[in-house]
A and B are shown apart, each in its own frame.
Chain A
Amino acid sequence: MEPVLRMQGISKSFPGVRALQNVDFELLPGEVHALVGENGAGKSTLMKILSGVYTPDEGDIQLKGTSVVNAGPKAMLDAGVSVIYQELNLVPHLSVAENVMLGREPRRAGGLIDWKAMRAEVKKLIAQFNLKLDPRTPVYRISPAYQQVVEIIKAISLRSDILVMDEPTASLTGNEVERLFEIIRQLRSQGVSIIYISHRLEELWEVADRVTVLRDGERITTKPLAELTVPDIVRNMVGRELTEQYPVTEIETRDEVLRVEGLTKAGVCSDVSFAVRGGEIVGFSGLVGAGRTEIMQIIFGYLKRDSGKIFIHGKEVDIRSTRDAVRNGIALIPEERKRQGLILGLSVFDNAALAVLDRNSTFGVINFKKLSDLIHRIVETIGVKTPSPRQLVKFLSGGNQQKVVLSKWFVRDCDIYIFDEPTRGIDVGAKVEIYRLMQSLAQRGAAVIMVSSELLEVLNMSDRIQVVYDGRIVKEFRRDEATEEGVMKYALGVAGSVA
């Protein structure tokens, strides 16, 4: 079969970095081709070259047999290449229909927008995928999964036959992922070719035909997935055996550090009670939107609660603000790294120091000497890869950015660490390092909570697992009794009907 896309000998350098070196990539009609590699392996650069954002230093790109190198983003879009980025490019307060037709709104005589035609057009596209979605709904009110679908519909309406999906499942949960896969399969059967980028290796077999592994800007292999296993791919990604994807340690549990009783907030969570001991890692599993993040934000004083009590070391504490929480020894590593964890325009140093300036200043004047020693030590211990602590955080990779957030709270030395989706969008190597850091916290007696949508991560890292469904804790598993299916059933709220 003649490939729809052929990229040959692509090389691209940036000042100081060789991003891509002689990379070949082919895409067949109706193929789902997975593209994997650690952060910084060159996936994004390759896709930016494909979409015309970057021009390659060397190499050729052929779309359906025509060379299109240096064509630019507009020409590539017109030629049928659509990219759906991880951070979706939707306008939140416009409707689904407006988002799909943005810039191509059907008009009536006189230049007025023809709303009827627009809605009808979008409705037709939605019907194609058997979805229940009103084209008039503003995009901010629909779930991330549906927002993803809106992007796909937009691409289809542009008559794209090459679709690049960058981490489409990163913010989706079990059944949403399944839904998305159905749509991808449907697209494939219509002859659309898809380049599928994901850090969730397990899901590739469900949806992709072939996989290309990149490492350090080079193509390592391209093979049908049927000939590979997860360890095979991981080995190709990192070039070494990752025997300990989930490091195991035995940590002695100590006295109870955190206890929550009857935490309730209308429309968010009700009657949430649990306790965490020192040295323990407790996982919180559940669907996105089940209320896990909000429960943690209540404990951290970021959201107000209607009722419920919080005890630390057995004493009730009154937490009304994030400052109260931090003073009581609670740290929250938030879900949205860039929006909630970091100040991208400030340096590694400034970010890491943010939570401890109060402890290292006299009458508001910062003691930089003392602080510098502390920050440098922690940034090194955690292993933030940065040319200098003065480097702005926005120039670091995702994994290193997350380590900067961790640094901020390691510097503070808290009793309770709450991790919300700590490894989302982070490459395998950095993930393992973050797991180790979590364990080192438990080792020194901290109570660790991990909210995660990656089931395997929760199962392997947690001593106990709390499953949250619809704002309640519906089940607690001990490590030895938890299975993927078991946790999933409770997370989906179908445990009762099955049992």
Chain B
Amino acid sequence: MKLDVKHILKTYGIFLAFLLICIILAILSPVFLRWNNILNVIRQSSIYGVMAVGMTFVILSGGIDLSVGSVLALSGIIAAGAATAGVGIFGIVALGLLVGVLCGLFNGLMITLGKITPFVITLGMMSIARGLTLIYSGGRPISGFEGAFRFIGGGFILGIPFPIVILAVTVLIGWLVLTQTRLGRYTYAIGGNEETVKLSGINSNFYKTMVYVISGLTSAMSALILTSRLNSGGPNVGQAYELDVIAAVVIGGTSLSGGRGSVWGTLVGALMISVINNGMNLLGINPFFQLVVKGVIIIGAVFLDRLRDQAN
């Protein structure tokens, strides 16, 4: 059989592009392929990557969540507050995650029962969560934690940084939920055509709400990693994160109109952003350029997606 280059490019384009970038960087910089650098790159991507798994659910369902960066800040500051107040590690984690889940639940309920578009609700939540973070912290960072909490962002398991373990487990669970559970299949279905889902006797509002809860949860998970790693919860962290998170999902080939995509693509998208940042740092390129390059890649990825659509 003849190798259909066009088809391969269209189907696996983003994976190939990612490999190509890695190869180029490996040639240009001897540091790039060092074990420490690789771990560093993946660890950097873990913050965005974990949130992007939740965002993948939201975007697959045809929605958007702009509040992830602010929810991250709020979860982080609450966790930091708990940590400095002497709450145990499980209490800190539970509290941090609860904040994220509640924010997501609010988003979901307002979207489904309040019938307001996701863009508007999560834009509002973005401001509310940021405001609450500032109120709680008085605008000052909360720093200095005990050992157990530091492990989340700074620990190692079998020589692998713990954030990478969290990322891997999150992607794996995300993949299993999307392919093997009702919640996952309904997420695709709702993104494909919500009216049909409703007319199939499915309580689509419940599943739609859950999708935002998941996004809130993954934001809170990232918050715990970041707060622990920085040894500080700051009122201004996570600003503009939603852009990188959405970018990771879109670069990974998930359709912004919903119904098509995967967490594997999202993982590649998140890694791609980190690799490019890392590579440009290694090559000593002006950091201002990095923004331009990131923008070009986002547009390029969507363009690739368009080509794939036309191929079908």
By DSSP majority rule, is chain B's interface helix, strand, loop, or mixed? helix
A366→B179 CA distance, assembly (Å): 9
Quick check: B182 and A357 within 8 Å, CB to CB?
yes
CB distance from B208 to the nearest CB of A (A): 14
Q: Is the beta-carbon distance between A302 and B199 smaller than 8 angstroms?
A: yes
Decide: A358 and B182 in contact? CB cutoff 8 A.
Answer: yes
Given contacts A350-B185, A354-B200, A366-B185, contact A340 B195 (CB under 8 A): yes
- Are B199's CB and A322's CB within 8 A? yes
A355–B202 Cα distance when bound, in Å, is: 7
Interface flag for A343 (CB, 8 Å):
yes
B contact residues around A300 at 8 Å (CB): 199
Inter-chain contact total with CB atoms closer than 8 Å: 77
Any chain B CB within 8 A of the CB of A315? Answer: no
- Residues of chain B contacted by A345 (CB below 8 angstroms): 192-193, 259-260
> Are B201 and A322 within 8 A (Cβ)?
yes
A339: contacting residue among B180, B183, B188, B193, CB under 8 A: B193
Contacts of A361 in B (CB 8 A): 181-182
Interface-side segment among A122-130, A230-238, A324-332: A324-332
Of B181, B189, B195, B196, the contact of A364 (CB 8 Å cutoff): B181
> Which DSSP category, helix, strand, loop or mixed, fits chain A's interface?
mixed
Q: Which of A293-328 contact B (CB under 8 A)?
A: 300, 302, 321-323, 325-327
Contact A354 to B180, CB < 8 A, known contacts A321-B203, A343-B259, A344-B192: no
User: How far apart are the CA atoms of A361 and B312 in the complex, in Å?
Assistant: 32
Report if B306 contacts A (CB, 8 A).
no
B23 → chain A closest CB, angstroms? 33
Q: Does A368 contact B (CB under 8 A)?
A: yes
The reply to whether the CB of A113 lies closer than 8 angstroms to some CB of chain B is no
CB neighbours of A344 from chain B (8 A):
192-193
Q: How far is the CB of A358 from chain B (nearest CB, A)?
A: 7
Q: In the bound complex, how far is the Cα of B193 from the Cα of A357, in angstroms?
A: 17
Q: Is A441 an interface residue (CB 8 A)?
A: no
Closest Cβ of chain A: how far from B218's Cβ, in Å?
18
Interface residues of B in 189-217 (CB under 8 A from A): 189, 192-193, 195-203
Q: Does B186 contact A (CB under 8 A)?
A: yes
Minimum CB–CB distance for B52 against chain A, Å: 22
Asked if A408 is an interface residue, CB under 8 A from chain B, the answer is yes
A474 to chain B, nearest CB (A): 28
By a CB distance below 8 angstroms, the chain B residues around A339 are 193, 195-196
The reply to whether A350 and B189 contact each other, CB–CB distance below 8 Å, is yes
Please report the C-alpha to C-alpha distance between residue A326 and residue B180 in the assembled complex, in whole angstroms. 23
Report the minimal beta-carbon distance from B160 to chain A, rounded to whole angstroms: 28
What are the residues of chain A within 8 A of B182 when measuring CB–CB? 357-358, 361, 364, 366
Q: Complex formed: what's the CA distance from A327 to B203 in Å?
A: 12
In A59-94, the 8 Å CB interface with B consists of: none
Q: How far is the CA of A408 from the CA of B201 in the complex (A)?
A: 11
Considering the chains assembled together, what is the distance between the CA atoms of A155 and B188 in angstroms?
A: 40
> Which B residues are CB-close (under 8 A) to A327?
201
30 CB contacts below 8 A, A to B, read A302-B199, A322-B198, A323-B203, A332-B199, A334-B199, A339-B193, A340-B196, A340-B199, A341-B199, A342-B193, A342-B196, A343-B188, A343-B189, A343-B196, A343-B259, A344-B192, A345-B192, A345-B260, A346-B188, A346-B189, A354-B196, A354-B200, A354-B202, A357-B182, A358-B202, A361-B181, A361-B182, A365-B181, A366-B180, A408-B200
B positions within 8 Å CB-CB of A: 180-183, 185-186, 188-189, 192-193, 195-203, 259-260, 312
